[in-house]
Structure 1
């Protein structure tokens, strides 16, 4: 197998171990401290921010239009999948048309 395949497999294994490790550690506690729970609840928003912020700050017309479309779909329709699909479609279309 090529080096790329080994890297992908190693990344998949490490990702799995990281996810299952956190679950195993937290499952040993009967109750989680409220501060830990608040921190864990903030993770999805933090991850979304790290994905969106670079495109919003340094993106071109296509990226900004995709972000605006995603925000509009999120507020009007709701749901992650419609938001993702429409944003991706707008981004792909505009990158293809604009370049």
Structure 2
């Protein structure tokens, strides 16, 4: 087998083990402490921030517009609505703003 296939298989196994490992650890607890639950609830926002923040340093007008719209939608909507609104505005703005 080529090196690429071994890397893909290793990544698949590592991904599976981390997902099943987290499930196995959390399933051993009868109840989750509120601070742990709050921390777990903050993970999606933290991941999204790590993806968006570096791009803001090199953002143009289209990207800033998309970020602003996504921020406004986030005030009223959920995570998916925010993501979709930002993506749509970014695509349209890039078509017209260059």
Q: Contact 1:55/1:64 (CA < 8 Å) preserved in 2?
A: no
* Distance (whole Å) between structure 1 residues aligned to residue 66 and residue 4 of structure 2: 31
Shift of 1:57: 2.6
Give, in angstroms, the shift of residue 54 of structure 1: 1.5
TM-score (norm 1): 0.69
In terms of mean alpha carbon deviation, does 53-62 or 10-19 score higher?
10-19
Aligned to 2:14: 14
Q: Structure 1: give runs of 5+ residues left out of the alignment.
A: none
RMSD (Å) for aligned C-alpha atoms: 2.8
Indicate the structure whose relative CO is greater, using CA pairs within 8 Å and at least 6 residues apart.
2
The C-alpha deviation readout for 1:4-60, integer Å capped at 9, x for no partner, is: 787666545533331121111221233445554443333223212112211223211
1:4 and 1:67 map into 2 onto residues whose CA distance is: 36
